[in-house]
Amino acid sequence: MSTLTISTIQTSLLWEEKSANLHMLEQKISAIEQKTEIVVLPEMFSTGFSMNPGLLAEKMDGETIQWMQRVSHENSIILAGSVIIEEEGKFFNRLIWMLPNGQYGHYDKRHLFAYAGEDEKYSAGNKRLIASVKGWKINLQVCYDLRFPVWSRNRVFDSAQTDSAQTGHTSTSLSVPEYDLLIYVANWPERRSHAWKTLLCARAIENQCYVVGVNRVGTDGNNIYHSGNSLVIDPLGQVLYHMADDEDVFTITLQKEKLEEVREKFPFWKDADSFNIL
């Protein structure tokens, strides 16, 4: 069974100081001693959770995307985190999934945080991004998405497998969960940290998957304190890693064998309701 090694970076962010944040994060990434395959950064890692997209937004060929391409290539890692992007006159809180070869996928945050006015400044996405790495399927989401379980629900698909015509028409149908790992990048305030920790565990249990939640620490430009509480959780909801308040870079290797054992021993996913996300 395959493994997947992930590094999480829980850090304070300099308010709306893009170049300084990129320099700081590059130093932290370069200092990772263990061999790692994916590095996960917080939400809006180059600016903090800012409602000034007109001032801070970049195009998809801008400074931060170019930085991600270079750092991903130089360190032979997949790099993930969200940035402020402008496209066709609209602003997006966009999670970038950057590969070492410079190719990337992206996910636009679906649930915009109206409590802070995010819905007034940004446009919502309408498509999930499920990436594939070494046979692992990874669902990528952003912060406030965590509160809406339907959007992250692990659907079950029938995967038809048919032999070639030369060997007849034998076919089988395999029911398989849509993904194996759920990643959230966030700027989640300390005052609601109980919800953050509880919901991350709930997402792992209900979807029978690993969950990684990466949050920032420190006080932002709106004088809102963030306690981090970044977590890695196994498919049974057991916490494998938790760090509150302090900056931390943590590397962990996830075991596909463990995931398959849980799903085989407790095949609750087979009884899940069938539905489509529109």
The residues that are catalytic are 43, 109, 143
In this structure, are residues 235 and 263 in contact, taking their beta carbons and an 8 Å threshold? yes
* 196 three-state secondary structure: helix
Q: At what angle do helices 18-30 and 63-75 cross, to 10 degrees?
A: 10
**Separation CA 12–CA 227 (nearest Å):** 10
Distances (CA, A) of 261 to 182, 202, 266: 18, 19, 8
Quote the CA–CA distance of 225 and 1 in Å, as a whole number: 41
CA nearest neighbour of 220 among 184, 188, 183, 185: 188
Contact 157, 269 (CB under 8 A): no
DSSP 31: T
Contact 7, 251 (CB under 8 A): yes
How far apart, in whole angstroms, are the C-alpha atoms of residue 82 and residue 136?
21
State the Rg of the chain over Cα. 19
**Which three-class secondary structure state does DSSP give residue 210?**
strand
- DSSP 3-state assignment of 181? strand
